[in-house]
Amino acid sequence: MIHPSAIVSPLARLGDNVSIGPFTIVHDHVEIGAGSVIDGYCEIGYPTPLADGLPLVLGAGARIRSHSVFYQGSRFGERLVTGHRVVVREKTVAGVAFQIGTMNDIQGDCEIGDYVRCQSNVFIGKMSRVGNFVWLLPYVVLTNDPHPPSNVLLGATIGDYAAIAAMSVILPGVTVGEHALVAAHSKVHRDVAPRTVVAGNPARYLCDADKIKLKDGSGAPAYPWTSHFRRGYPADAVAGWEPPDKAG
């Protein structure tokens, strides 16, 4: 299942039923889990001394789309999914079912939890920490240099179940609490309390998240979003979430 034009190092370790597309390069120090599909024109395990000799590990069932580049030294759980033209640098560690949108740039030395979903054109700066079930919508930027250019790196921290809406910027060292919402086009310069909404430039407290109502006529609160949204999550992942009939 390896295309004749692909170049796969004999030192790479491939699980059963792995598919490698045309003109893709798989370097040394790469481990690809069973059932993974890698499209054409990708570079997997791009060598870098910053990896300190660590391998690139892709868990079983990965789906990597064309023109994506993964550096050596990162580790991903099962069912990784990407869009096109994704770049992930060294020493990124991510959990299961990580979704990386088209044109994402993950700068390395990041910790990312389970079931994180990044939409298109997201930038995750070096040293970022992202929890479980987080949503990063298009053009979100997690920054890390408090006075660029410098050698000081302060990664942002995003708590479990937080949602960062489109075109928002999280400044270095800022923590966004669990179940918080950052409204679209916000610049967040200070910590965001759990279960609150911030908006604006600079971002300010708007309300508690449960005050926002769904625009479906039900009058039910939109947050926590786990009370009514389950699409794409397996049953075991949502087993502890509040039932949808208790959303109001």
DSSP annotation string for 84-119? SS-EE-TT-EE-TT-EE-TT-EE-SS-EE-TT-EE-
At 248 the three-state DSSP class reads: coil
Predicted confidence band at 248 (pLDDT cuts at 50, 70, 90)? very low
Whether the pLDDT of residue 244 is over 70: the answer is: no
- When pLDDT is averaged across residues 182-189 and rounded to a whole number, the result is 98
pTM: 0.94
Tell me the pLDDT tens digit for each residue of 41-76: 999 999 999 999 999 999 999 999 999 999 999 999
The percent of residues above 70 in pLDDT, for the chain, comes to: 98
Whether the pLDDT of residue 179 is over 50: the answer is: yes
Given this model, what pLDDT does residue 246 score? 47
* Amino acid letter for position 207: C
Other residues' Cβ atoms within 10 Å of the Cβ of residue 86: 23
- When pLDDT is averaged across residues 87-108 and rounded to a whole number, the result is 98
DSSP annotation string for 200-242? TTTTEEEEEGGGPBPTTTT--B--SGGGT--TT--TTTSTTSP
Q: What value does the mean pLDDT of the chain take?
A: 96
Given this model, what pLDDT does residue 240 score? 83
Closest among 42, 39, 45, 35 to 14, alpha carbons compared: 35
